[in-house]
Amino acid sequence: MKFTVNCDCTPEEARSFLGLPDLSPVHDKYVQTMLSTMDGAGSLEQMGKMLGAFAPMGDASMKLFSQMMDIGLSGAKGASGKS
């Protein structure tokens, strides 16, 4: 048997219903730190290094994300080239 339940609620209501913590103060602090750090960056290269340092896994996650994007783009080019 399969049934579907639709619930119209805000993200805050969903978090409280599921018992998840409200991390909006942490998110706000993270964004504010990123913005204040970016204000001190003089070039795009410096900004990229700072973003890599703030990423959850550092530079490794930025490289992984870049590789995934490259794979996705090459797949999209390959699919469009066959048509």
Cα 58 to Cα 52: distance, rounded to the nearest angstrom: 5
Which of 69, 58, 68, 36 shows the shortest CA–CA distance to 48?
A: 58
Domain boundaries, the chain: 11-82
- In the chain, the N- to C-terminal Cα span, in Å, equals 41
Task: Quick: pLDDT tens for 20-68.
Answer: 988 889 889 988 887 887 777 667 777 677 777 766 666 677 778 788 8
Q: What is the pLDDT of residue 3?
A: 92
